[in-house]
Amino acid sequence: MKRRQLITTALAAGALAGLGVPLRARGSDADFYFTRLSYESGDWDVDERAPSNILNALIEYTTIRVDLTERVIALADPAMLGSPFCYLAGRRLLRFNHAERQNFETYVRNGGFVFIDDCNHDIDGLFARSFEEQMAEIFGPDALAKIPNDHALYSSFFEFDGPPRTSQELNGWGDDLVHEYLKAIEIDGRIAVLYSNKDYGCEWDYDFRNKRFMVNDNTRFAVNIVVYAMTS
């Protein structure tokens, strides 16, 4: 069962009952819409141009019918539970309140997909440490683990031999490390939480007119992430 069907089935079966959850895609012709999660602590509104560049790449390379408008939904709002894909990023403290924690766990355990991006590019930074502590509290100390570089994520659309490097890694920003891996929490054999310390959001945050100067389009990996989320 594909992730979108899984979420729909969970909603229909009442797994999310009592939360007043609308399936946001209903009444829309789009297959995909981009949901950015806001949260009470820290800074969630980073890399503001990244979503539009991701959406542009999906239109350019795939036949996925894309809603052109980025949706910002509070993690504490049950409306997020109907999203086919969620993006959460920041640089500062990430500490879920009760409603945020409840929705995050419910969404992840019922077929959702969240891409977490550490904008510090720093495994010892505040965002990374506070996020990883919460994942351990909610899903267990070993749930967040490195994924192999031949994971299906890396061949879901374009072929990669692991996570592409970012300019933040190569110019010494943050922890001054090149991370040769991504981490994930898998539920029932599929990635439910994809976690990057590589700062992809900053990598994809540029004026779209500058894309023509790139030797390689760096948003191609974003296409892989979305296609994996939609088809796994």
Mean pLDDT in residue range 142-151: 97
The residue to which tokens 């980025």 are assigned: 70
Is 123 part of a structural domain of the chain?
yes
Residue 222 placed within a domain: yes
Report whether 131 contacts 88 (CB < 8 A).
no
**How far is the C-alpha of 78 from the C-alpha of 40, rounded, in Å?**
15
Q: Which domain holds residue 64?
A: 32-230
Q: Binning pLDDT at 50, 70 and 90, where does residue 120 land?
A: confident
Q: What is the pTM of this model?
A: 0.87
Number of domains in the chain: 1
The domain that holds 200 is classified in CATH as: 3.40.50.12140
- Asked, for residue 12, whether it belongs to a domain, the answer is no
* Residue 162 within a domain: yes
Residue 9 falls within a domain, yes or no? no
pLDDT tens figures, 47-75:
999 999 999 999 999 999 999 999 999 99
Domain-embedded: residue 17? no
Output the pLDDT for position 9.
59
